Chain A
Amino acid sequence: MALQTEPFILNVGPQHPSTHGVFRMKVTLDGEVVVDVEPVIGYLHRGIEKMGENRTYTQIIPLTDRLDYLASLTNNLAYVLAVEKLAGIKIPERAEYLRIIMAESMRISSHLMAVGFFLNDLGAMMTPVLYMWREREKLLDLFEMVCGQRLTYNYMRIGGVSHDIPEEFLPAMKKFVTEMPGFLDEYDQLIASNEIVLVRTKGVGVLPKETAIDIGASGPVLRASGVKWDTRKADPYSIYDRFDFDIPIGAAGDNYDRYWVRMQEMRQSLRILEQAMAQLPKGEVIADVPQLLRPPVGEAYGHIEAPKGELGFYLVSDNSIAPYRFHIHPPTLINLTALKDMVVGWKIADLIVTFGSIDVVLGEIDR
């Protein structure tokens, strides 16, 4: 005689310790097994795209800080690349190198945070978070030295960057780059060979290669599924073609691979940083751009490899001081559409961990 069961709906609501932001999921559970997931977004919608239509091109830069607030510099970079493509501005060499240094440090900081909170979702009670934040604090100090803030930097400008680096930046950055691989090895010792982490994450939340390409995923989620695609190599922007670095690829597309790809990307970012600091030329840091820029009529799409994926800005200009249309392509929203495929059939504990491994930031999804 079979036991009659019935599934019930659990609301993993907007206020939850583990949804990274205000994100709601309606989960249908059969005992402990997830049968259906329906995400509900929009709790952090601020209307940034509409606000962009009423501000000049320079005034939009602080707005873009607040999209993915954990990786603000790469947001700024994507936006000014789009504007420079639209207006046809060429920027000086020193500014290019400074942008790369800042973007790669930002990638390290964002990945530290992502991996730390992934482990917190697994249950390791904030210990890995605090160890990784110790390194992130050093990076935030360096950013504060250059542009004055720790979270919303507002550093990139149309035509270059806003300030030159002070003289104590380079020795401090060199010290950080030499110390960091030792700390990364320590994190591997804590996590990568821990049996409990392996048992919880290997084979769980698999995203097959074809599905990843079909839904348009990007970033570490795509690379962990085995697709060799990185915007820095496939469509090089800025001066990335002058640097020598690898792209780590995962094999199976499960949670462990996403974590592993992020750890390897941090090591590759350290390589790029060393090379960029060695090749840094002298010169100005900003090109001669009018204060109220009026680009010619047209459209442009500027995209970069942000830490979370491919971040793109689409601008349509009608020769006035403000854009006619300002649209943002957020990587995490597209990656999030794969959540249902990854999670159905696993247990509720796996749902939280898989969601954490996609590494969402709600500011980007809801804009």
Chain B
Amino acid sequence: MTLLQNFRLFLDGMNWPDWAAYLVAGLVGIIVVLAFVLVLVIVFIWFERRLLGRFQIRLGPNRLGPEGIFQPLATAAKILMKEDIVPAKADKIIHWLAPVIVFVPVLLIFAVVPISQGAILSDLNVGIVYVVAVSAVSAIGIYSAGWASNNKYALIAAFRTVAQMVSYEFPLVLAIIGVVLMAGSLSMTEIVESQTIPYIILQPLGFVIFFLCTIAEMNRSPFDLLEADSEIVAGYHIEYSGMKFAMFYLGEYGHALAYACIVTTLFLSGWKGPFLPPILWFIIKVFLVFGTIVWMRATLPRLRVDQLMGFAWKGLLPMAIINLFIVAAEVLWLPEINLWILVVVNIAAAGILVLLWSRLFTLGGGRVEV
């Protein structure tokens, strides 16, 4: 029973009419989730800027408010005050609609993220499939933003979007299926409950594949070709300013938060942990995942688009399929075995596969390709 269902029963017990209890419980849940998301997105923006500064041996923003915590609010206020410019020959309806299509699916993902024990907005029994389906809608938004801007730089970004987003969906889904097989259910709360040992240890290869695919879906370094600052000068949001740009900006950090929550739920055993209250464990794990993402951004240069696709199709996808076979074999034929033996077997398999793939293929740097 989730907390919301308990709350609704409580309201029914107080003799409220049925529709009122449903409506009020739903609204309370939505407001709590939205508050959680928006506050954490703002904290993420601050956290990333400070952490990136520390990696680069400088301070991040530290002027507004103690240690700069009001900086994201100042950024938001500045963006709101800017003039909203639409290019003359742009497709006005799609230009207006694109930020909405990018931002709304991010909020929809949070409906099935278990923040604490029983604290979930709606306990769908196909939770993870819902997440995959909804998050793929943002790709349409980015592509239409690129097309509708009537700008060649944005068009190049739009080409790359379609390629990148579609290529990285496959290994993502296959890695998720590995987790689902071991957990035995598609529902997010079930997946968290079934993790006596976190799946990061049980399926290291699955974790690595999933992590790299989420970074690619989020358009962050080293896969941030869509907004490659040094080549195509801000990519798909080159012609956006004002509140529409704020939607893209918030959408990017919202995506980061959403995928960090999904990684935590699937592989790091969600809210489980000793001593501290569960919600605190969840937030700590989400920040750890996000810190790793920022760490990768600070260090690595970006890939070229054909190398990116080669990496997905020739590298991650076969490894994901083989990983799926191994996990399926273990679940089918060794269901009662001690889990630690499986840990050792899986880590060995991951090591062998990574070594094998590094030897077998190169990412094509020496040919002239047309």
- Chain A residues packing against B (C-beta within 8 Å): 8, 10, 16-18, 29-33, 119-127, 130-131, 134, 190, 194, 196-204, 345-350, 352
Contact = CB atoms under 8 A, between A and B. Distances in A.
Interface extent on B, as a size class? 35 or more
B100 interface: no
B221 interface: yes
A360 B128 CA distance: 51
Interface string B294-311: 000111111111110000
A152 B172 CA distance: 54
B222 interface: yes
A194 B296 CA distance: 13
Contact of A203 (B153, B233, B365): B365
Given A134-B57, A349-B305, A190 B299 contact: yes
B56 interface: yes
Given A130-B57, A346-B368, A194 B301 contact: yes
Contact of B304 (A29, A119, A127, A347): A347
Interface of B: 52, 55-58, 152-153, 156, 159, 221-222, 224-225, 228-233, 297-307, 362-363, 365-366, 368-370
For the complex of A and B, list the 3 residue pairs with the smallest distance between their C-beta atoms, beginning with the closest: A123-B302, A203-B366, A122-B301
Contacts of B56: 126-127, 130-131
Given A194-B301, A349-B228, A199 B363 contact: yes
B301 A349 contact: no
A18 B230 contact: yes
A126 B60 CA distance: 14
Contacts of B369: 33
A17 B152 contact: no
B310 to A, nearest CB: 10
Contacts of A10: 152-153, 156
Contacts of A130: 56-58
Nearest to B53: A130
A240 to B, nearest CB: 36
Contacts of B363: 199
Contacts of B52: 125
B300 A16 contact: no
Given A10-B156, A122-B301, 9 more contacts: A17-B229, A31-B159, A32-B156, A124-B301, A127-B55, A194-B300, A196-B302, A199-B365, A347-B305
- Quick one: which of B233, B304, B368 has the most chain A CB within 10 A? B304
Nearest to A199: B363
Nearest to B230: A18
A247 to B, nearest CB: 26
Contacts of B55: 127
Contacts of A131: 56-57
A197 B56 CA distance: 19
Q: Which of A126, A127, A197 has the most CB of B within 10 A?
A: A127
A17 B225 CA distance: 15
A127 B275 CA distance: 38
Contacts of B304: 200, 347, 349-350
